[in-house]
Chains A and B, each alone.
Chain A
Amino acid sequence: MLSWYEIAHGLIGGIFVGAAYALLSAGFSLTWGVTRVINLAHAAFALLGSYITLTLLEMAGIDPLVSIVFIVPLLFLLGLGLHYFLIKPTAKRTRDITGASMVLCFGLYIIIENLLVIMFKSDDRVLHSRYSDISLAIGPISVALTSIISLAIAAVSLVIIYFFLNRTYTGKAVRAVWQDREGAMLSGINVEGVTAITYGLSLATAGVAGLCLVLMYSVTPFIGFSWLVFVFLVAIMGGLGSILGVTVGGLIVGLIVSLGSVFIPLAYINLVLFVLLIIVLLIKPSGLFRR
């Protein structure tokens, strides 16, 4: 018997997980749009953010909120490295960067996954911070403090990305390169530099999303793959090129997963999601929020 309590619980849970997926997908959508690269390793970099959070807390007692200060610059640098040492040389040698990059990034994904197994073993890991085991009551529903913190971090990050892309010169240049690469070059935009920044931003936000997810869920080195599935769903539903789209897409996917698990067995939820994805692709292939 379903109760309103369960449905409300599902709704709130959907918003929490949806916001984290939205943040996770934002960077993926950015690099896909700007460079036509489908970064299959994106979720692995998020997982790196999760394990950095875990390690900093366990080894040095660093608060998960403080670990953002480490994750963002580190992943940003990794993003620059990814662009200059892997993507750029590959793009120079191929005409089909989308296909080539998928293979390249898939390989990278496997490397990162295996490195994580070597370093951290393949057991489930749970973050035990001082925020764990605290619940807040929203009406009759109790919500874990970690979920609220995760939501806050994801929301603030998405707002920052939105403002960066829409209010700063560099952010606008990212959109310009996305919309017309040659037009951007002729406008005096250093396309190479802007692309590198895009990768830095993409991986930095992935790392923060990894932090959000590890606040709420346990992780193993293999969970990246199921995250990647969600990233694809959100990016395609939201349409490439729109942070608003990614946010709404993330919330939709989150709500379906969370509410769906109230009504139907968890095993069928992926089925529902992918049927929905196919419907979206058939009706509006450019995504729900692309004009």
Chain B
Amino acid sequence: MLEVKNVDVFYGHLQAIWDVSINVKEKEFLTILGSNGAGKSTLLNTIAGLNRAAAGSIEYKGVKINGLEPYKICAMGLILIPQGRKIFPMMNVLENLQMGAYLPGPRKTVRQNLEKIFATYPVLKDRSGQLAGTLSGGEQQMLAIGRGLMGNPELLMLDEPTLGLSPKLALDMLTSLKKFHEQGMTLVLVSQETMQCLQLAERAYVLENGRVALQGQCSILLADDKVRKAYMGI
């Protein structure tokens, strides 16, 4: 479904990503792991069109998407929930969700999507008139995901959705992702919660210093001594 081939990404003169290739299959739950600065966010931002790939190609559903503007990539059903949420703090919850349905296609399905999102995250319904900037961290993360869902994603990429959440909230968050996957959505999850990600997802890539260091089925990586030592501290 998504095919990233030999991609290099630079920030100014600094190279952040070196010759990275990953692929995501339809209906798959993929996770990308790695320590801080490994290039996980850069990779997702590049796929979503925020960064330019200096070399290599990115294909989504057989169409080359590198170089396309982010909104065009959204329109194809490839949506990123960015790190740091990037919600609109001075707009209320409902308006934030509406913005996620800005494109003509999603604008036709606003009502159904709102119902679905409010069923998954009821707190958003209670707070729909409240300014997004006044929500708690967990609620803001739910809003960011809700906004992404408004755009009818087929492939949803999530960058650190559990960052800054309490363990309990983080677990709830990951559980809700599992539900999306069961409903048929393709997911790419980036997170520091290595253990939980490996248990949730089906397949994983491990990035190290901007390069793919490891890849494979989660069950196999979970059993791997090297992985356990390097990323889980056991």
Contact = CB atoms under 8 A, between A and B. Distances in A.
B70 A180 contact: no
B70 to A, nearest CB: 4
Given A182-B50, A187-B100, A192 B90 contact: no
Contacts of B151: 187-188
A172 interface: yes
B49 A184 contact: no
Contact of A188 (B71, B95, B131): B71
Contacts, number: 76
Interface residues of A, number: 20
B48 A186 contact: yes
Interface stretch (B58-66, B72-80, B225-233): B72-80
A169 B102 contact: yes
A180 B133 CA distance: 12
B1 interface: no
Interface string B89-122: 1110001001111110011000000000000000
Contacts of A184: 88, 99
B52 interface: no
Given A187-B74, A188-B71, A191-B71, A291 B90 contact: yes
A166 to B, nearest CB: 9
Interface in A211-255: 241
A173 B82 contact: no
A182 B86 contact: yes
B25 to A, nearest CB: 23
B188 interface: no
A169 B104 CA distance: 11
B91 A190 contact: no
Contact of A185 (B71, B88, B95, B147): B71
Given A173-B99, A182-B50, A185-B50, A190 B87 contact: no
B90 A241 contact: yes
B106 A188 contact: yes
Contacts of B50: 182, 185-186
Given A175-B91, A179-B91, A192-B69, A186 B99 contact: no
Contacts of A190: 69, 71
The interface residues of chain A, by DSSP majority, are classed as helix
Contact of B70 (A172, A175, A186, A291): A186
A176 interface: yes
A192 B86 CA distance: 18
Interface in A244-291: 291
Contact of A186 (B74, B89, B90): B74
A179 B132 CA distance: 11
A289 B116 CA distance: 36
B49 A185 contact: yes
A172 B95 CA distance: 8
A180 B147 CA distance: 14
B88 A188 contact: no
Nearest to A166: B95
A176 B91 contact: yes
B143 to A, nearest CB: 11
Nearest to A183: B86
A187 B48 contact: no
Contacts of B99: 172-173, 176, 184, 187, 189
A169 B110 CA distance: 12
Interface string B127-145: 0000100000000000000
Nearest to A242: B90
Contacts of B148: 186
Interface string A152-187: 000000000000000001001101100110111111
B71 A189 contact: yes
27 contacts: A169-B98, A169-B102, A169-B107, A172-B95, A172-B99, A173-B102, A175-B90, A176-B88, A176-B99, A180-B87, A180-B89, A182-B50, A183-B82, A183-B85, A183-B87, A184-B88, A186-B50, A186-B70, A186-B74, A186-B79, A186-B80, A187-B74, A187-B99, A187-B102, A188-B74, A188-B79, A188-B106
Interface of A: 169, 172-173, 175-176, 179-180, 182-192, 241, 291
**Which 9 residue pairs are nearest across A and B when measured between Cβ atoms?**
A183-B86, A188-B74, A185-B70, A188-B103, A179-B88, A187-B99, A190-B71, A176-B99, A188-B71
